[in-house]
Structure 1
Amino acid sequence: MSIAHLTSPRTTSYVAPAETPVIHAAPAPVAAAPSHIRAVPAGTEARGFVVYVGIDEEKAEADGTSLGSIVSQIKALVAQLAPSSETYAAVALAPRGSGGRDVEVVRLALQDPAALAKHRQTTEPEAEADRARDGVVIDLSRKRVLLDNEAANLTYKEFELLQYLVLREGRTIERAELISSLWGAGHEDLDDIPNERTIDVHVRRLRAKLGDYEDIVRTVRGVGYRFDRHADVSVRQTSTPSPDLI
């Protein structure tokens, strides 16, 4: 994206293509801008102005001109209207394919305060949403799991499976142990006892519901599964201690 940025009192010229003449106006004091152009805060004075032009080389070429030619003609017009004025031109660069209106991209690239403030208003809510991520809360007392403050839709058996691993944190649990403990004698769903292959299906479904936090349930190849607590994982214990603690 490109721009002709006109202000004063700096005497710096835009480097235009070789075939395009660049006009230099002799530096001279600048008269205060008429008050009807814009209200000037008390204690300050108007010393110039800036014009943002949003256009790229392809659009300029389609219009039968070029950025260098546009800049030169604007500088020449300013020198004609106000010979005592000074001009400075700057070209705004932005990543190719940047979205948004050309002039808005130019304003952001050249750090226009109003454009920056508007941009922050639109991006800060997204940043706040990222900071709102509170990780995983495994509430053993209430039999629920919260993912970033939203309840995970776990089935009773999926929660049991996760709870079994959580209470044995850091220890790899073999598939056979999971089957015997969660589907063995004393359980009501004896007709739905899985084998060591189908236990993997239960774990996959559990991990899918954990979403971005699926890696808290680790697969230990050839052995079984393990619960690994991360910094963003908290466990709310019941009054019953872990069976692995003495």
Structure 2
Amino acid sequence: MSLAHATQNLATRPAVIAAPDITAPRTAARVAPAQAPTAPRLRAVPEGTEARGFVLYVGLDEAKALAEGSSLGAVVQALKDLAAQLAPSSETYAAVALAPEGAGGRDIDVVRLALQEPAALARHRDAEEVDEELDRAHAGVVIDLSRKRLALDNASVALTFKEFELLQYLVLREGRTIERTELISALWSADDEEAAPNERTIDVHIRRLRAKLNRYEDIVRTVRGVGYRFDRHADVTIRYATAPSPDLF
């Protein structure tokens, strides 16, 4: 979880030494103290544009913050307070980058990708191309949570949005039996265009998902009287999303 480095490089200007005060009496001639170094300023921006603010990415997850006696909330608030102190007219907005537990990767990279930083996106696209090459050579099941994609024996499978949501919810809770009521409350909201199903229609959604999984349908198991569970087989590969969209802090 996080935010991180500025999008413009900063350059410093040398300190300026004031000339002697020629208005003072000769007997009390004195030199004005050196002025404090001027604040760093942005390099020249391209012609026709103007700098309207900046982005600061900070790579730090909650566990690391707590281990250092702080929290993400405290760090965010301190940065907001500092901005208000240095420039009272400044406006601030902070977003948190979210990633599935255990997704791995450097915090700073997760943040840059979640907040759509161009260089990070370009590297991610390159990595995706490598993954696609690996997928084509991989027999079995590939569940790509990053690109919302399912492939069976090197062939893409067309899932509906809700079908993939169901599969992803089970995959991210691998080995745990999920009750039907939990699936309903987690995956259907009041704003959802599709009316929230009852427990029986969850079974219909799962049955359709299993049909598309074909001979691998048993990776989604039914636990009678309780719900459903994802069981990974040796021929199942999961590509975890590095960073979903950021959430408002």
TM over 0.5: no
Q: Which has the larger radius of gyration?
A: 1
Of structures 1 and 2, the one with the larger relative CO (CA 8 A, separation 6+) is: 2
The structure in which a higher percent of residues are strand is: 2
TM-score in terms of structure 2 length: 0.42
TM-score in terms of structure 1 length: 0.42
